[in-house]
C-alpha cells in the first residue's frame, strides 16, 4: 500500500513490521551468537595467558576497516544471495571488536589481584573464573554492546543480499511508498537505540556491584585508540 505518511503506514502494517523485525533480529543474533562463541573465549584465553597481543589488538583494526557492504558483496560472489552470506559477513564484522575487547579486558585486570589469588592457592582456572572474569566483565561487555548495536544497524544491508530484515521495507519504495520508507527507517533506528538501551541495562546488571560506582563507560569509549 503506497502512502506518504509514515505513521499511518506503520499502524496499518504492523504485521509486516513485526515479521521483518523478527527476521532482522534473527539474522543479527545468529551472527552475534557465532561471533560471541568464537571471539570471547579466544580473547579471554589469550588475555589470561597474556600472549598474542599483537594479533589480538590488530585483528580489531583489520575488522573495523572492513567495509560492511563490500564484505556482503564479496560474499555474494562466493556464497550467492541469501541469509548465509549475510550471517557470514556480520559474524566477520562483529568478531574482531569483541575479541580485542575481551583480550584487553582480561589482560589488564589488576595484576595485584591476580597475584593475590594465586598466592592463596587458586588454580589457574579458578583465578580466571573468580577473579579475572568478574573484573574484566565491564570491558568485555562494552565490546559486546558495541558489536551488537553495530550488527543490528548493519543487518539493514541484508536486504541487498536477499537476506530479509527491516532493510526490505526501506529500499522498497515502489511497494511501500515514501511513508513506508520513512516508517522503516524510523523503526530500524528505534530498534538500534532500543538494543543499545537494553544492553546498557544488562551491562549494569553484569558489572560486579562495587565496580558500578566507577560509572558505566559508554560503548563508544572503545572507539578511542592510543598509537601503537
Partner 1 sequence: MTPLPLVLAAGGGPVIPSFGKASNCVVQNGQFCSGWFFANWHAVFQPRLIEHIELTAIAVGVGMVIAFSAAILAYKQHWFETPFSLLAAFLYTIPSIALFEILVQITGINRFTAEVALVGYTLLILFRNTLTGLRGIPPSALEAAQAMGLTQTQSLFRVEIPLAMPAIMAGVRIATVTIISLATVAAYIGAGGLGEPIFDAIQTGFKTEFLATGVIIVALAIVADVLLVLLQRLLTPWAYRRRSA
- From 196, 105, 194, select the one nearest 150 (Cα to Cα): 196
3-state SS track over 35-80: HHHHHHHHHHHHHHHCCCHHHHHHHHHHHHHCCHHHHHHHHHHHHC
Regarding 27 and contact with partner 1 (CB under 8 A), the answer is: no
Binding letters toward partner 1, positions 80-99, x by CB under 8 A = -x------------------
Helix or strand or coil: residue 81? coil
By CB under 8 A, residue 167 contacts partner 1: yes
Considering the complex, state which of residue 74 and residue 122 has its C-beta at the smaller distance from partner 1: 74
Which residue in the set 59, 133, 139, 170 belongs to the binding site for partner 1 (CB under 8 A)?
A: 170
Which residue's CB is nearer to partner 1, number 75 or number 138?
A: 75
**Cα–Cα distance, 168 to 184 (Å, whole number):** 9
Please give the grid coordinates belonging to residue 35.
561471533
Q: Which of 13, 148, 192, 203 binds partner 1 (CB under 8 A)?
A: 192
Query: 64 is written with which cell numbers?
Result: 573495523
Give the rounded distance of the alpha carbon of 98 from its chain centre. 8
Least separation in angstroms between CB 201 and partner 1: 16
33, 90 contact by CB (below 8 A)? no
Q: Does 78 bind partner 1 (CB under 8 A)?
A: yes
Question: Is residue 104 involved in binding partner 1 (CB under 8 A)?
Answer: no
Question: In angstroms, what is the minimal distance from the CB of 67 to partner 1?
Answer: 3
Tell me whether residue 74 or residue 216 sits nearer to partner 1 (CB atom). 74
Among 62, 116, 120, 198, binds partner 1 (CB under 8 A): 62
Amino acid at each position: 500500500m503506497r502512502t506518504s505518511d509514515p505513521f499511518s503506514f506503520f499502524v496499518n502494517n504492523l504485521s509486516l513490521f513485526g515479521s521483518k523485525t523478527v527476521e532482522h533480529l534473527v539474522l543479527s543474533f545468529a551472527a552475534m551468537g557465532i561471533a560471541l562463541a568464537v571471539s570471547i573465549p579466544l580473547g579471554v584465553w589469550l588475555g589470561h595467558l597474556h600472549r598474542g597481543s599483537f594479533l589480538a589488538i590488530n585483528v580489531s583494526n583489520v575488522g573495523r576497516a572492513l567495509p560492511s557492504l563490500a564484505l556482503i558483496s564479496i560474499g555474494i560472489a562466493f556464497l550467492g544471495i541469501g541469509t548465509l552470506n549475510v550471517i557470514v559477513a556480520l559474524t566477520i564484522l562483529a568478531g574482531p571488536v569483541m575479541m580485542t575487547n575481551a583480550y584487553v579486558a582480561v589482560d589488564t585486570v589488576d595484576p595485584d589481584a591476580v597475584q593475590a589469588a594465586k598466592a592463596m592457592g587458586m588454580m589457574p582456572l579458578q583465578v580466571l573464573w573468580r577473579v579475572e572474569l568478574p573484573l574484566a566483565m565491564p570491558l568485555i561487555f562494552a565490546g559486546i554492546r558495541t558489536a551488537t548495536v553495530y550488527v543490528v544497524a548493519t543487518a539493514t544491508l541484508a536486504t541487498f543480499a536477499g537476506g530479509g530484515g527491516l532493510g526490505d521495507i526501506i529500499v522498497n519504495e515502489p511497494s511501500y511508498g515514501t511513508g513506508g520508507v520513512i516508517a522503516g527507517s524510523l523503526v530500524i533506528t528505534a530498534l538500534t537505540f532500543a538494543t543499545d538501551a537494553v544492553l546498557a541495562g544488562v551491562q549494569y546488571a553484569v558489572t560486579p556491584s562495587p565496580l558500578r560506582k566507577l560509572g558505566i563507560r559508554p560503548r563508544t569509549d572503545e572507539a578511542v585508540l592510543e598509537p601503537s
